[in-house]
Amino acid sequence: MTVVMRPSPLLTEVYLYRQPIDFRKSYRGLSALVECELGHNPFDGGLFVFSNKQRTKIKCLFWESTGFVLYYKALVEDKFKWPKGNDALLTITGQQLNWLLDGFDISAMKGHQERHYDTVF
C-alpha cells in the first residue's frame, strides 16, 4: 500500500468529533463548528476529525500557518469504525488517526501498560 498524503503520526493534538456532520461543510463551516460549538481555537494547531452519518467518509481540518488544510477520505465499500462515547470530542494521537484511516477499531486497540520505576532493586 502506498501512502502519499496522511496526517502525521507524530501529531499530539487530534480531536475526533463523535457526531456525524453535514459533509457539504467546507473549511469555513468546520472551523466555525470547532470555534462556536466545541469552544476550541481552530488556529491553535489542533487537527479536528469529522465523519458523515454513514461513517464512509472522513474530513480532517487543521491550520497550517497560512491557511486551512482539509484532508478527505471516502471509502468505496467499507465503513470507518468510529469510537463510541458520550463526550463530543475524543482526544487521540496522530498514530491512532492513521490506524482509523487504515480501518482499525482504535477503541479496541490497547498497548502494554506504561511502567514507571524508581530503582532496579
Give pLDDT tens digits for 24-56.
999 999 999 999 999 999 999 999 999 999 999
Average pLDDT of the residues in 11-19:
93
Does residue 76 form part of some domain? yes
The boundaries of the domain holding residue 71 are: 16-101
Does residue 44 form part of some domain? yes
Does residue 121 form part of some domain? no
pLDDT digits (tens, 9 = 90+) for 87-100: 889 999 999 999 99
Using alpha carbons only, what angle is made at residue 79 by residues 4 and 87, rounded to the nearest 5 degrees?
100
Question: In the chain, what percentage of residues exceed pLDDT 70?
Answer: 99
User: Residue 96: helix, strand or coil by DSSP?
Assistant: helix
Task: Return the minimum-mean-pLDDT range out of 20-24, 48-52, 78-82, 104-108.
Answer: 104-108
Residue 1 is predicted with a pLDDT of 67
Does residue 9 form part of some domain? no
8 vs 34: CA distance, rounded Å: 20
- State how many domains the chain has: 1
Close Cβ partners of 73 (under 8 Å, ≥ 6 residues apart): 57, 58, 101
Does residue 106 form part of some domain? no
Q: How confident is the model at residue 8 (pLDDT cuts 50, 70, 90)?
A: confident
Considering the entire predicted model, what is its pTM?
A: 0.85
Does residue 111 form part of some domain? no
Question: In the chain, what percentage of residues exceed pLDDT 90?
Answer: 72
